[in-house]
Amino acid sequence: MIRRFFRTIRQRLQRIRERFARKPNRFIVYMNQQAVLATEATEALVNYMIKPNKRNAQRVRQLEKDADEVRRILVDDLNRTFVTPIDREDIYALSRAIDDILDDTWFTINEMDILEVNPNTHLQEMAGRLDDAAEELKLAIERLERHPGVSSMHAIRARKLRSEIETLYPTALADLFRKPKDLDNVIMMLKLREIYRHLYHAAGRIGDAADTIDDIVVKFF
């Protein structure tokens, strides 16, 4: 009888705690879903650089579509919400930056597949840094509400990886211009330049997302 009484009290206290517990910011939940899909896409890109095939290419395409749907829901919800816990502009900007990372990841793998470009060491290095940076962004968003200081640390790491990709980009271009000797080499040079550019743009979006995270931390946490 006494045990039953205390068990009932504990259950009621638990329900009270759950009722008054702070609910997660749904917009951060949406952006975290986007970030998870982005890390899965960059991981698939790394796998493609190791073993290029249609399956890895299609996986990135599907992940990009899934992320587009999450963003559509976020934007629709944002348009119907009068008051938001974070600036509307920051929510929109961060979501868009993550979406752009997925787009550039898809552009990279799609053009490699269509243009029949085989991975090289430059592409593998840039893809690896992009994957690491996407993981740092994911962690930054996960920590944003409860551990904003840790979130900023991950944003800093993401920017550092962005800088590494931006350093690899001109190195890869310089290597291209040292190689042309005949028409076939020139054609391959043009193909690779476009693919390098997609990864360079993806790195820029990493930086945009990290900057927005820092803005959110300074203004709201």
Domain boundaries, the chain: 25-220
Reading the block at residue 148, the tokens are 């904003």
**pLDDT tens-place string over residues 166-196:** 999 999 999 988 866 777 788 888 999 999 9
- DSSP H or E run through 80: none
More confident residue, 197 or 10: 197
CA triple 154-146-39, angle to 5 deg: 40
Please state which architecture CATH assigns to domain 25-220. Up-down Bundle (1.20)
Tell me which residue of 95, 103, 130 sits closest to 209, measured CA to CA: 95
* pTM for this model (two decimals): 0.86
180-185 long-range Cβ contacts below 8 angstroms, 24+ apart: none
Asked if residue 157 has pLDDT above 60, the reply is yes
Answer yes or no: is pLDDT of 25 > 80: yes
Q: What average pLDDT is seen over the chain? A: 88
